[in-house]
Amino acid sequence: MTARLAIYGGPAVRTRDWPTWPQPAPGAEAALREVLRSGRWSISGPYQGADSADRRFARRFADYHRIAHCVPAASGTASLMMALEACGIGAGDEVVTPALSWVASASTIAGVNAIPVFADIDPDTLCMSVASAEGSITPATRAIVVVHLYSALADLRGLTALAERYGIALIEDCSQAHGAAYEGRKVGTFGRVGAFSMHHTKVLTSGEGGAAITADPELARRLQYLRADGRRYLDLAPARGQPELLECNELMGNNRALSEFQSALLIEQLTQLDAQNAVRRRNAAWLDARLRQIGFAPQQTAAGTSERTYFGYAVALPEALADIDPAVFAQAVGAELGLPVRPIYAPLHRNVLYAPSTRRRFHIDPAHLDRLDPRRFRLPEAERAARRTVVFHHSALLGEESDMADIAEAFARVHANADALRTRPGDAHSRAAGRPDGSAQAAATPAVSARA
């Protein structure tokens, strides 16, 4: 049963290319050209007699979610900070968020001068555990930011009930779940605000971009102010050539506006989202079945999920491979496939990217820095998951069943030859990089490659 693994110079399972990402929608070029010649490249540029692309995208994205309001923004980070501040979160407030996520989940909370409090995860879904979230609530808690991670939805029934019981805001970070639905309703509509990223890697993208959606008109106004330096759209369109934004003094903002190019692009990209989500869902289901047969444990989603979507395909290694560094296993599978495979995010209390003390702005006083210190948290489930779970980007799920067969074969081959990963002392890929505490895992996964 032994073969030389590709990571050690053996022949790879696959050398064919993978689907590329991003994939421009059919109308993308024309839409970009139209903005180019429109005389308005920003929402704060002069009104040209027609709705801005920002407004048109906001309408489409709100309608897509069957919700009243959408405020597009420059990034997911911007959208999350707007969501927090629109809900009145600020200095000294505690915000409960999951230990496993992209660093922005924590940095945005710290960024509004609040304190991220990390809740542990459910080991099957990798999303926030309701019990741990409840245990993290203190009198200072003002909000929960839930993240729908990789391909899972969090337990929204449990979390909405929890937020209600404690009278705190629920904000949904849907940056990895565009188009997913829970009990028949799109995610992003369960929280007071739903925040999205349209970064290059995400399933809906304009390179950089974001959006916040809400049912509450008052929150929508606040989101607008926070997004455009305290300005919002006029109630009635102005004369051509005039600014369309009204200057108010209700709430100071920052410029976090999405450019007209990005909004125009998103209108087109949104038309392919459902079809692409369906392809990924079908391929992932096929792969789930194969990988389960050989002992792997693909990520599960919360009961109640009605439309699953895939930003990443995450899978836990079998117990028999518990002694193998997931970074090494991921590299070995990646080498078989010519596809980046990597460990899941390092938990945020040990994540090299989450280092608030490196920023002067957080040195408000020693007590604030102590509260921000991520090392004060104990998060055993997140650590356990990080020690045994690998992930690859959703673009690999956009192909055909034969592509899924290649992926399954690569996992099977590396599994069958796992001894080779154990017995290469001195090799760059050996367990010398291994990490009882997950810390070296972060180091083995450079920031540039850690996004998906």
> Nearest approach, Cβ of 23 to ligand PLP (angstroms)?
18
Q: Does 197 bind ligand PLP (CB under 6 A)?
A: yes
Stretch that binds ligand PLP, among 172-180, 237-245, 346-354, 391-399 (CB under 6 A): 172-180
Helix (H) or strand (E) holding 408: helix 401-416
> Nearest approach, Cβ of 353 to ligand PLP (angstroms)?
12
Q: Does 102 bind ligand PLP (CB under 6 A)?
A: yes
Among 54, 122, 172, 173, binds ligand PLP (CB under 6 A): 173
Residue closest to ligand PLP, measured at CB: 76
Between CA 183 and CA 377 the distance in angstroms is: 33
Which residues face 231 on adjacent strands?
247
Instruction: Show the site string, 291-320: x = touches ligand PLP by CB under 6 A, - = not.
Output: ------------------------------
Among 89, 104, 153, 414, binds ligand PLP (CB under 6 A): 104
Active site residue 186: no
Stretch that binds ligand PLP, among 2-10, 96-104, 151-159, 289-297 (CB under 6 A): 96-104
The answer to whether the CB of 149 falls within 8 A of the CB of 175 is: no
> Nearest approach, Cβ of 160 to ligand PLP (angstroms)?
19
Q: Does 126 bind ligand PLP (CB under 6 A)?
A: no
Q: Does 223 bind ligand PLP (CB under 6 A)?
A: no
Between CA 327 and CA 433 the distance in angstroms is: 9
Q: Does 77 bind ligand PLP (CB under 6 A)?
A: yes
Query: Which amino acid makes up residue 115?
Result: I
Count the residues of the shown chain that bind ligand PLP, applying the rule CB under 6 A: 14
Pairing of strands 245-247, 185-186: unpaired
Among 116, 210, 326, 334, binds ligand PLP (CB under 6 A): 210
Distances (CA, A) of 215 to 38, 70, 339, 358, 359: 31, 9, 40, 37, 35
Stretch that binds ligand PLP, among 88-96, 170-178, 211-219, 270-278 (CB under 6 A): 170-178
Please tell me whether the peptide bond between 22 and the residue prior to it is cis, using omega within 30 degrees of 0.
yes
Stretch that binds ligand PLP, among 75-83, 225-233, 276-284, 296-304 (CB under 6 A): 75-83
Q: Does 262 bind ligand PLP (CB under 6 A)?
A: no
Q: What's the token pair of residue 449? A: 């490659």
Among 35, 53, 54, 101, binds ligand PLP (CB under 6 A): 101
Stretch that binds ligand PLP, among 168-176, 234-242, 246-254, 325-333 (CB under 6 A): 168-176
Q: Does 188 bind ligand PLP (CB under 6 A)?
A: no
Between CA 436 and CA 439 the distance in angstroms is: 8
Q: Does 379 bind ligand PLP (CB under 6 A)?
A: no
Contacts (CB under 6 A) with ligand PLP, residues 143-162: 147
DSSP string, 79-138: HHHHHHHHTT--TT-EEEEESSS-THHHHHHHHTT-EEEEE-B-TTT-SBPHHHHHHH--
Helix (H) or strand (E) holding 292: helix 260-293
Among 125, 175, 205, 259, binds ligand PLP (CB under 6 A): 175
Between CA 35 and CA 38 the distance in angstroms is: 5
Q: Does 212 bind ligand PLP (CB under 6 A)?
A: no
Vertex 170 angle, CA 59 and 97, to 5°: 115
Q: Does 227 bind ligand PLP (CB under 6 A)?
A: no
> Nearest approach, Cβ of 443 to ligand PLP (angstroms)?
21
Phi first, then psi: give them for residue 84, nearest 5 degrees: -60, -50
Stretch that binds ligand PLP, among 101-109, 222-230, 276-284, 285-293 (CB under 6 A): 101-109
Burial (CB count <10 Å: 0-12, 13-18, 19+), residue 239: exposed
The answer to whether the CB of 343 falls within 8 A of the CB of 441 is: yes
Which residues face 185 on adjacent strands?
182
Distances (CA, A) of 255 to 40, 143, 195, 243: 16, 24, 17, 16
The answer to whether the CB of 411 falls within 8 A of the CB of 291 is: yes
Q: Which is nearer to ligand PLP, 197 or 300 (CB)?
A: 197
Q: Does 84 bind ligand PLP (CB under 6 A)?
A: no
Which residue out of 14, 202, 342, 429 is catalytically annotated? 202
Query: For tokens 């409090």, what's the residue?
Result: 117
Q: Does 345 bind ligand PLP (CB under 6 A)?
A: no
Q: Does 105 bind ligand PLP (CB under 6 A)?
A: yes
Q: Does 211 bind ligand PLP (CB under 6 A)?
A: no
Which residues face 232 on adjacent strands?
246
Q: Which is nearer to ligand PLP, 105 or 305 (CB)?
A: 105
Please list the active-site residues.
202
- Give contact residues for ligand PLP (rule: CB under 6 A): 75-77, 101-102, 104-105, 147, 173, 175-176, 197, 199, 210
